A and B are shown apart, each in its own frame.
Chain A
Amino acid sequence: MRPYIPLGAYLALMALAFALPEYSKQIASIAFYMALGQAVNIFVGLTRYVNFGYAAFLGIGAYGLGAAILYMPQLGIATIPIGLALGMGLAALLALTVGAIALRLRGAYFAIATIGLNEGIKHLIIGANIWGGGAGLMLGSSMFKVYGRDLALFLANVGSAALILLTGLISVLAMYFIQAGRAGYALAAIRQDEDAAKVMGINPTRYKLLAFVTSAVLSGLLGAAFFSLGNMQVFPENVFFIDYILDGLAVMFLGGAGTVTGPIVGGLIYYGARYLVGIYLPGLQSLITSLIVFLVMLFLPNGIVGTLNRRSEGLRTWLP
Chain B
Amino acid sequence: MALSLQQLSSGYGRLQVLFGISLEVPAKSIISLLGPNGAGKSTTLWTVMGVVRPWEGRILLEGTDATRVPPHRKVELGLALVPEGRRLFPEMTVEENLLMGAFTKRAREKVHDTLEFVYALFPRLRERRRQRAGTMSGGEQQMLAIARALMSRPKVLLIDEPSAGLAPKIVSDLFQTVKRLKEEMSVLLVEQNVAAALEISDYSYVLENGRIVLQGRPEELAANEHVKKAYLGV
Contact status B49-A192, CB under 8 Å: no
Q: Does B104 contact A (CB under 8 A)?
A: yes
Which B residues, 43 to 90, have Cβ-Cβ distances below 8 Å to chain A?
A: 46, 49, 51, 70-72, 75-76, 80-81, 83, 87-90
**A169-191, CB under 8 A of B: which get 1 and which 0?**
00000000000001001101100
How far in angstroms is the closest Cβ of chain A from B46? 8
Can you list 18 A-B contacts with CB-CB less than 8 angstroms, sorted by A residue number?
A182-B103, A185-B96, A192-B90, A192-B92, A195-B87, A196-B89, A197-B100, A198-B49, A198-B71, A199-B49, A199-B75, A199-B80, A201-B71, A201-B72, A201-B75, A201-B152, A202-B72, A202-B103
A203 touches B91 (CB 8 A): no
> In the docked arrangement, what's the CA distance between A186 and B80, Å?
17
A204 (CB) vs chain B CBs: closest residue: B72
B interface residues with partner A (beta carbon < 8 Å): 46, 49, 51, 70-72, 75-76, 80-81, 83, 87-92, 96, 99-101, 103-104, 107, 148-149, 152
Is A200's beta carbon under 8 Å from chain B?
yes
Question: What's the nearest-Cβ distance from chain B to residue A236, in Å?
Answer: 39
- Give A23 to B138 CA distance when docked, in angstroms: 59
- In the complex, the answer to whether B92 meets A199 with C-beta atoms within 8 Å is no
Q: What residues on B are CB-neighbors of A202 within 8 Å? A: 72, 100, 103
B80 near A192 with CB under 8 A, answer: no
What residue in chain B is nearest A201 (Cβ atoms)?
B75
Question: Are A195 and B103 touching (Cβ within 8 A)?
Answer: no
Residues from chain A with Cβ under 8 Å of B70 in the complex: 203
Assembled-state Cα–Cα distance A192/B87 (Å): 9
Q: Is the CB of B51 within 8 A of A193?
A: no
Q: Are A188 and B75 in contact (CB-based, < 8 A)? A: no
Instruction: Please judge, given known A-B contacts A201-B107, A203-B72, whether A189 and B100 are in contact too, CB under 8 Å.
Output: yes
Q: In which size bucket is the chain A interface?
A: 10 to 19
Residue among A185, A200, A202 with the highest chain B CB neighbour number at 10 A: A200
Complex interface: chain A residues within 8 A of B107 (CB)? 201
CA distance A196 to B133 in the complex (A): 14
Q: Which residues of A contact B100 (CB under 8 A)?
A: 185, 189, 197, 200, 202
Whether A200 touches B90, Cβ cut-off 8 Å, given contacts A189-B100, A195-B51, is no
Q: Which residue of B lies closest to A186 (CB)?
A: B103
Q: Which residues on B sit within 8 Å (CB–CB) of A182?
A: 103
Chain B residue contacts of A193, Cβ below 8 A: 87-89
Q: Which residues of B contact A197 (CB under 8 A)?
A: 100
- Chain B residues within an 8 Å CB radius of A192: 89-92
B92 touches A200 (CB 8 A): no
Chain B proximity of A201: nearest CB distance (Å): 3
Contact partners of B51 in chain A: CB under 8 A: 195, 198-199
Q: Which of A37-94 contact B (CB under 8 A)?
A: none
Closest A residue to B46 by beta carbon equals A195
Q: Which 9 A-B pairs have the closest CB atoms?
A: A201-B75, A201-B104, A196-B87, A203-B72, A198-B71, A199-B81, A192-B89, A201-B103, A200-B103
B99's partner among A185, A195, A196, A199 (CB-CB below 8 A) is A185
| Minimum Cβ distance to chain B for residue A225 (Å) | 35
Rounded to whole Å, the gap between the CB of B81 and the closest CB of chain A is: 4
The docked-state distance in angstroms from the alpha carbon of A197 to that of B92 is: 13
Instruction: Return B174 CB to nearest CB of chain A, in Å.
Output: 19
CA of A222 to CA of B98 in the docked complex: distance in angstroms? 39
Cβ B72 vs Cβ A198 within 8 A: yes
Residue numbers in A under 8 Å from B80 (CB-CB) = 199
Q: How far is the CA of A195 from the CA of B49 in the complex (A)?
A: 10
Q: Which residues of B contact A196 (CB under 8 A)?
A: 83, 87-89
Bound Cα distance A192, B49 (Å)? 19
B76-A201 in contact (CB<8A): yes
Residues of B within 8 A of A201 (CB): 71-72, 75-76, 103-104, 107, 152
A100-127: contact bitstring with B at CB < 8 Å (1 yes, 0 no)?
Answer: 0000000000000000000000000000
User: A181-232: which have CB < 8 Å to B?
Assistant: 182, 185-186, 188-189, 192-193, 195-203
Q: Give, as a whole number of angstroms, the nearest-CB distance from A42 to chain B.
A: 19
> What is the distance, in angstroms, from A188's C-beta to the closest C-beta of chain B?
7
Within 8 A of B (CB), among A217-255: none
Return the chain B residue nearest A190 by Cβ.
B89
Q: Which residues on A sit within 8 Å (CB–CB) of B71?
A: 198-199, 201
Give Cα A196 to B101, complex, Å: 10
* Complex CA distance for A197 and B71, rounded to whole angstroms: 10
Complex Cα gap A280–B170 (Å) = 66
The distance in angstroms between the C-alpha atoms of A74 and B99, with both chains bound, is 55
User: Distance in Å from the Cβ of A257 to the closest Cβ of chain B?
Assistant: 14
Taking CB as reference atom, which chain B residue is nearest A193? Answer: B87
